[in-house]
Amino acid sequence: MAQHRQGAEAPPQVLEYLHEHKTVTLATTSPSGMPHAATMVYATDGLTLYFSTKPESRTARNVAQNPRVAFTIDEYYPDWSQTKGIQGAAECLPLLAAEEIRRAAQLFREKFFALADPVDDLSFFHQLSFFRIIPSEIEFIANAGALGATGQALGMDYHRSLVYSVFHNLPRQDVAMVSGQLHTVAFDAGEIIVRQGTPADKFFIIVDGEVTVLRDEGERSVPVATLRRGQFFG
């Protein structure tokens, strides 16, 4: 339902870092607030990350209840002052349309040449759930040359820069204009708000109640997420 930001602007070194690395550590929370971190292989399209996991995994179950996540991509450097990495906050949503799943599978094939999965056979992927990580904020840690010294020290400072934010470059008057365009709509229980495969031309913020996300699979619709007050889609 949410549109990925393929054309989102970020420094070239950040896009290169995302392209070169292979795993992301994704932090999710359960409905009771229990945190969970899991490492996933990922593919990218600009700043957007894709991963897949079993539908019954803890990550998938947590995301179904709360799509707001945090993530990090990094590696260990013997010289701590040379540390690089990416930290971010994001929204994580399941891919629902067949063309979205096929596109994500193709991105994996392009990044992992040894991948044996048949990307054109969508029946193969019914045992998996694919997700899109849409960053709302990204910080890039790049210490090389910034600390003036090498070595290790507990509690050492790391040089980090906010390289992407959905609101970072939005002037105050534009924020006010967007807020002024919002209006309240109400839907009855069981009413369809948006349908899979139709143009995404509206943005919804849930003020009260909850919304169930269903994925069409032939003759039946399968629940894949539940969104609640304060969450958004569209």
User: What tens digit of pLDDT does each residue of 55-78 get?
Assistant: 999 999 999 988 889 999 998 888
pTM (two decimals): 0.68
Domain CATH number, residue 100: 2.30.110.10
Model confidence pLDDT, tens digit, residues 139-193: 998 875 544 555 677 766 777 788 887 765 556 566 566 655 667 788 888 888 8
Is residue 178 classed as helix, strand or coil in its secondary structure? helix
pLDDT tier at 54 (50, 70, 90 boundaries)?
very high
Q: Residue 1: its pLDDT value, please?
A: 32
Q: End-to-end CA distance of the chain, in Å?
A: 5
Q: Residue 4: its pLDDT value, please?
A: 35
Higher pLDDT, 104 or 181: 104
- In one letter, which amino acid is 179? S
Residue 22 forms part of a structural domain: yes
Q: What are φ and ψ of residue 204, in 5° steps? A: -115, 135
Is residue 184 classed as helix, strand or coil in its secondary structure? coil
Domain that holds residue 127: 12-170
Report d(CA 128, CA 53) in Å as an integer: 6
The encoded tokens of residue 200 equal 């995404």
Number of compact structural domains in the chain: 1
Residues 129, 55 contacting (CB under 8 angstroms)? yes
Residue 197 forms part of a structural domain: no
Residues 93, 215 contacting (CB under 8 angstroms)? no
Residue 67 forms part of a structural domain: yes
Residue 191 forms part of a structural domain: no
Q: Residue 44: its pLDDT value, please?
A: 95
